[in-house]
Amino acid sequence: MSSFYGENIKMAVFGQSHAPGIGVTIDGIPAGKKIDFDRLSAFLRRRAPGRDPYSTPRNESDVPEFICGFSEGGVTCGAPVTAIIRNKDTRSSDYAAIADVPRPGHADYTALVKYGPSRDAAGGGHFSGRLTAPVCVAGGIVLQLLEDMGVTVKARIVSLGKVRDDGAEAACDKGAAREDRGPAVDFPASSPAVDFPASSPAIDFPVSNLAVENAMKQAIEEAKAAGDSLGGVLECVVEGVPAGVGDPMFGGLENRISGIVFGIPAVKGIEFGSGFACASMPGSENNDGFCFDENGKVVTETNNCGGILGGISNGMPIVFRVAIKPTPSIAKPQKSVDLKTGEQVILKVPGRHDPCIVPRAVPVIEAAAAIAVYDAILGR
Ligand SMILES: Cc1cc2nc3c(=O)[nH]c(=O)nc-3n(C[C@H](O)[C@H](O)[C@H](O)COP(=O)(O)O)c2cc1C
């Protein structure tokens, strides 16, 4: 298995969904960095399950226990940081019933082919979305280190099912929406010229206004009631990365970010800047013209390249979008096969599942982007 990431910091994610615990080791975190654990907990709570009807009812507090890497007062000591999160609310009997019937869309079949009968199938084993909790522990720490360098990472929900947040509703709902959601943050590099709220500990559903939020939540509820699930698209913006970070060819920022983002279960696509849309644009439209800002810094008029040229940051915000597929485990009957009896069967997946992974994936994408960018900055 390859559950390691990074060149300059090295992250290893370990554990299985129904094992005693899951966790992470990160090597390469510099000594002498004070970590704010309250902020880290708030960040982890945004991903934790069981908080609302839009996520799995599996009730895990997801509190990390730090085994090493810190000296007194929560200051990093330079040694590898290791954190363990104990799994508490497991229900493996749900999976015993479908041990021989692979869930369509999940990794059950491929895991069985590759690892044989001794693979751990309970709760998806090492393939579970639960393994993104340790990624968030590492990412939550790295986000604080990046902040000290003036780098911020924020993600938002662009679409969920068929509901799009293009900010169209923002004009009619702005006042009320803003009061409820806190200060707006400009996502300057994204296509719509609309202010979107920062994803923050207070906001677990980062969209431009309450009308969009309600429409998305209603779509999740309808899918759940129909025994189905929904996917969506997230956009992530990394601001404050200086020009010159990254490498050409296989060491590019796009490669590094994609590498970790595709390690997040359910991610099926990624695009940077104008992404797939650039294929139908003329060069004159897609090229980002250079100019100087008021401080004499080289900037670009537009940001269709998503802040990356030749794999290297150009100093503009790094912008990418991620496609998250609908949760594979659904109650609706689906075709599968019983590998023991050799029969074609109709499967209704038991257990507790997220009707939509998208809201919980927001901090995970931020964590992944933070780790990739920090790793690249250290290698500059
Ligand atoms: C935060 C998060 C939560 C997830 N929750 C579930 C879930 O409840 N049920 C499920 O079937 N898949 C869930 N997944 C997705 C599966 O783990 C994933 O689809 C599966 O491992 C197959 O991998 P792939 O989709 O990347 O091919 C979740 C993923 C994430 C990131």
CATH 3.60.150.10, applies to 4-132+139-378: yes
Answer yes or no: is the C-beta of 237 below 6 A from any ligand 1 atom: no
Give which of 196, 187, 189 is closest to 168, Cα–Cα.
196
Domain boundaries, the chain: 4-132+139-378
* Residue 189: CB atoms within 10 Å: 21
Q: What is the pLDDT of residue 121?
A: 82
Answer for the pair 150, 160: CB distance below 8 angstroms, yes or no: no
Answer yes or no: is the C-beta of 132 below 6 A from any ligand 1 atom: yes
What does the DSSP 8-state code read for residue 33?
P
Q: What is the pLDDT of residue 61?
A: 76
Mean pLDDT of all residues in 115-120: 89
Mean pLDDT score across all residues of the chain: 89
Question: What interhelical angle do 210-225 and 170-181 show, nearest 10?
Answer: 90
Mean pLDDT of all residues in 178-196: 39
Which pLDDT tens digit goes with each residue over 119-159? 888 878 899 999 999 999 999 999 999 999 999 999 999 99
Answer yes or no: is the C-beta of 325 below 6 A from any ligand 1 atom: yes
Answer yes or no: is the C-beta of 190 below 6 A from any ligand 1 atom: no
Answer yes or no: is the C-beta of 360 below 6 A from any ligand 1 atom: yes
* C-alpha of residue 73 to centroid of ligand 1, in Å: 36
pTM, to two decimals: 0.91
What does the DSSP 8-state code read for residue 205?
S
Answer yes or no: is the C-beta of 231 below 6 A from any ligand 1 atom: no
Please list, in sequence order, all residues whose beta carbon lies within 8 angstroms of the beta carbon of residue 249, skipping any fewer than 6 positions away: 311
- Structure tokens, 51: 């908080």
- The number of angstroms, rounded, from the C-alpha of 111 to the middle of its chain's C-alpha atoms is 22
Question: What interhelical angle do 358-378 and 37-47 show, nearest 10?
Answer: 130
CA-closest residue to ligand 1 atom 30: 129
Q: Which of 105-109, 164-168, 278-282, 345-349 has the lowest mean pLDDT?
A: 164-168
pLDDT for residue 179 is more than 60:
no
279 — phi, psi (to 5°)?
-65, -25
* C-alpha of residue 105 to centroid of ligand 1, in Å: 9
Answer yes or no: is the C-beta of 127 below 6 A from any ligand 1 atom: yes
Q: What is the pLDDT of residue 366?
A: 97
pLDDT for residue 203 is more than 80:
no
* C-alpha of residue 34 to centroid of ligand 1, in Å: 33
pLDDT for residue 297 is more than 50:
yes
pLDDT for residue 346 is more than 50:
yes
Please list, in sequence order, all residues whose beta carbon lies within 8 angstroms of the beta carbon of residue 157, skipping any fewer than 6 positions away: 165, 205, 206, 207, 216, 232, 233, 234, 358, 359, 362
H or E segment and range at residue 256: helix 253-261
CA-closest residue to ligand 1 atom 20: 106
Answer yes or no: is the C-beta of 328 below 6 A from any ligand 1 atom: yes
- Taking phi over 0 as left and psi of -120 to 50 as alpha, with beta for the rest, 185 belongs to beta
CA-closest residue to ligand 1 atom 22: 106
Answer for the pair 135, 367: CB distance below 8 angstroms, yes or no: yes
